[in-house]
Amino acid sequence: MQLKLDIRRTLTARSDRVKCVDLHPTEPWMLVSLYNGKIHVWNHQNQQLIKTFEVCSSPVRAGKFIARKNWIITGSDDYRITVFNYNTLERQHVVDAHMDYIRCLAVHPTLPIVLSGSDDMTIKMWNWDKNWACQKVFDGHSHYVMQIVFNPKDNNTFASASLDKTIKIWQLASSIPNFTLEGHVNGINCLDYTHAGEKPYLISGADDRLVKIWDYQNRSCVQSLDGHTKNISAVAFHPELPIIITGSEDGTVKIWNANTYSLENTLNYGLERAWTICCLKGSNMVGIGFDDGCVMIRLGKEDPTFSMDEGGKIVWIKHSEMQMINLKQLAIEDIKDGERLNLSVKGDTKSCEVFANTLAHNSNGRYVAVCGEGEYIIYTAMALRNKAYGSALEFVWGIEPEDFAIRESATTVKVFQKLTKEKKSFKPELGADGIYGGTLLGVRSANHLTFYAWDTLELVRRIEIQPKGVFWGGNGEMVAITTEESFYVLKYNASVVAEASEEGRAEDGYEDAFEVVGEVAENVKTATWVGDCFIYSNSLNRLNYYVGGEIVTISHLDRPHYILGYIPRDNRIYLCDKELNVLSYSLHLSVLDFETSVMRKDIQNAQQLLPTIPQSYYTKIAHFLEKQGFVSQALSVSTDPDHKFDLALQLSKLDLAVELAREIGSDQKWQQLADCSILSGRLDLAEKCYEATQDFGALLVLSSSSGNLDKVSKLAEVAHRARKFNVAFTAYLLTQQNLKALNILVETNKLPDAAFFARTYLPSEVPRVTQLWKAEQQKTNAKVAQGIADPSEYTNLFPSFEESLRGQKYLEESEKIVPASHYSTRTSNSQRNVFEELSKACTSGSNLEETRENNANDDGERDEQRQSEPQSTELITDEDIELDLENMNLENIDYSNISEEDLLGD
């Protein structure tokens, strides 16, 4: 049977003839060496050309990444090795390496060594740590050296292919070859070592149109592959998949099964002759170079093949070998979340007889089944002994430990009992594109997922969906169906199906068989169930779990990981990456059980589970309870003061919130508490909160709006000492402490403002302030300072100044601070005429206090008169202003030092 690898082209780039390609080990880059003397670097993820290097005017036949140095190294027909820094694009070194064209380069995986092969029939070893000194010359070929490859299983040896029809095996320590392999009848163009397994194999391609597989230990040819119609130009053992890839001048690339040597696939992209093939360890990507460009393809799936039973026994397949690991060997107390676990393989490895697409334990963990290449094999989980086998495209386990189903073809599904006994074969009505195990047997068709009962194969329910995966919970009730864009959580009502009659089943099965619990728009990669909690990893590399409509993130992962399973005794979820490195995260079973009970509204059981949960999880549980609407219970459980404070506010427990705010000591918490206190009418508590944060602005609003004169006065002094001048100034002004308000303006050097403030409220202070203002201006602009007039010196400029002084004294003796409740009966200051009030007081001869009281009583009458009288809307014209200026006495002002330029400049 064929491997049936999915082949997807990820990049096609047309260019001049491609002589060599190489793949970067960590970046999504493909290096392309061109016949026109250039090298290109393509990003095969976004299909963008990201870098171009001009090497020379001759063909560049070899190019390699040296990622640990951020280098690109090339060999070309100008006989030189050239080194570039691919970050700075700088040409860093040039070596005159050979006497003829350089055909190939090989970079040692660990040492600072590069090998070069040339048409001068030599191989040279270069050390970049020693200024690219040539440390050795390997001489033995009698024709062009076409390719050099290091042995991945022994980095001290390498092989070379030559047009002299031989392959030579060398050691770095000797310039004489260990031995020579002969068998091709024409020149050999290419070769490669196998990466996986224990087989000491090497592959070669030659101008005799044959591909040969060699056992380099026995020094013999074990197989010849015949299929190309022209010279073989490139060969490769894939480092991850059991395949051989060959390219030829006939324009085709062929994929062969590395175990059976059968031809799996032939690719032809219409780009003329194929010249080079490159594979990357740890990846399924393959780069291919042609006459007219290059292609990048992805072969098969890159997800690892593994399975773990409930006891922690892991079986995985790596390079066609089955390996076993037991997590019981771990010391749980030493495990930290997200750290790679140090695991050792248990016992001997076993070679897998098929290329596995799937690997799965049965329900009790006694057996493990492998399916691939159109076959399935059931092994015992302990010793990996064959128990049963057969033909199948897919394999799934049933609910009984020894029951399973296979998809035999696109139209036929078979169900087996007791491992070997065939129970029934049936043809699903809509075909069978895939099958899923679990409580019910699921069959996928083009646009539907159909569930059947295992025992009777009766149709239970057909759902219109295009599923990617089906995951059943351990209790057989909950099931998650994943698609490319989202997943759906359903609850299976087995009792409804059992009680329903045959007549009650519709065309699509029993309508009440499933109940939709929730839908989440996330792309699930791998998943498992723990109780009613659905744990999954998604396309954004997050590890989450879903319970009762809520999603909780366990961890953000730095790269794709795959869920192995959950082990209750460890209270940990285990995952692995593509390289099968295992890590884990703590996830307490009692927490999951508690959340499950809450979702089922079983509060009594949840309360019984609470004492079994470690204290470190209490805040997490409190957040969960809060989301479910159990705020009071969340407050009693939470151990986080910040969270308890928020819950106390939600429940309007302000006294508790005060205690928590003191414990936390955060201004933000006091501010939140103040806002809630105001909404609750607790102004006294709000005042304490503002005092704790020294929010003078809020205290001013609170004290002034409540009409508390003493608090406003006290606040003015406190704010002044704290240098909160805006609040202090406003508070002084509200309490009619005008002199203190003026002094704040002087203290803060706002002298122009102080001057106008004094002119309005305290005329007696105008001379003092103007002198200060003039002195300050004298420091920067003496001419401007001379323009500031002091009323005591220029009385002609202030005709009513003396009257203003008398008005100030009158107000200071007669004014009283009245409560805000009198606002409606008082005349506003903007409508009062202090001079008229003073004149009346002087004319009547009464004391000022009595006059002020009479004026206050007349305020209401004045308001009525003003409302009945028409308001003047006459505007001040330019002529009025000119007239006022003519009447001003300007004789005493000294203009001698002021020029026209100064006036214009000012």
**Rounded mean pLDDT for each run of 10 residues along the chain, 906 residues in total:** 80 95 95 96 94 95 96 96 95 95 96 96 96 95 97 95 97 95 96 87 96 95 95 94 94 92 93 95 92 94 88 86 86 86 79 87 93 91 90 93 93 90 88 94 94 92 94 91 95 89 80 92 94 92 88 90 92 90 90 82 84 86 85 89 90 89 87 87 85 86 82 88 90 87 90 88 88 87 84 81 80 72 74 75 58 47 42 42 42 42 38
- 468-587: what fold? Methylamine Dehydrogenase; Chain H (2.130.10)
Reduced to 3 states (helix: H, G, I; strand: E, B; else coil), residue 570 is coil
**For the chain, how far is it from start to end, CA to CA, in angstroms?**
97
**Distance from CA of residue 418 to its chain's centroid?**
47
Instruction: Supply the DSSP string of 55-66, one letter for each residue.
Output: --SS-EEEEEEE
Of all helices (H) and strands (E), which one includes residue 746? helix 738-747
Tell me what pLDDT residue 798 has: 81
* Cα distances (angstroms) measured from residue 121 to each of 98, 108, 301, 350, 703: 10, 21, 41, 43, 98
7-299 falls under which CATH superfamily? YVTN repeat-like/Quinoprotein amine dehydrogenase (2.130.10.10)
| Sequence ranges of the domains in the chain | 7-299, 468-587, 589-630, 640-693, 800-865
- For residues 748 and 742, the answer to whether their CB atoms sit within 8 Å is no
- For residues 420 and 405, the answer to whether their CB atoms sit within 8 Å is no
Tell me what pLDDT residue 1 has: 55
- For residues 778 and 772, the answer to whether their CB atoms sit within 8 Å is no
Tell me what pLDDT residue 845 has: 56
| Other Cβ atoms within 10 Å of 507 Cβ, number | 7
Q: Do domains 7-299 and 468-587 have the same CATH topology?
A: yes
Longest CA–CA separation in the chain, Å: 140
Instruction: Supply the DSSP string of 757-812, one letter for each residue.
Output: HHHHH-GGGHHHHHHHHHHHHHTT-HHHHHTPPPTTT-GGG-TTHHHHHHHHHHHH
Tell me what pLDDT residue 597 has: 82
Tell me what pLDDT residue 2 has: 65
- For residues 8 and 295, the answer to whether their CB atoms sit within 8 Å is no
Q: What is the pTM of this model?
A: 0.68
Instruction: Supply the DSSP string of 188-248, one letter for each residue.
Output: EEEEEE--SSS--EEEEEETTSEEEEEETTTTEEEEEEE--SS-EEEEEE-SSSSEEEEEE
Question: What is the C-alpha separation between 772 and 791, in angstroms, rounded?
Answer: 14
Question: What is the C-alpha separation between 171 and 125, in angstroms, rounded?
Answer: 11
Rounded to 5°, angle at Cα 540 from 538 and 545: 40
Question: What is the C-alpha separation between 281 and 73, in angstroms, rounded?
Answer: 20
CA-wise closest residue to 351 among 331, 333, 327, 377: 377
Tell me what pLDDT residue 759 has: 85
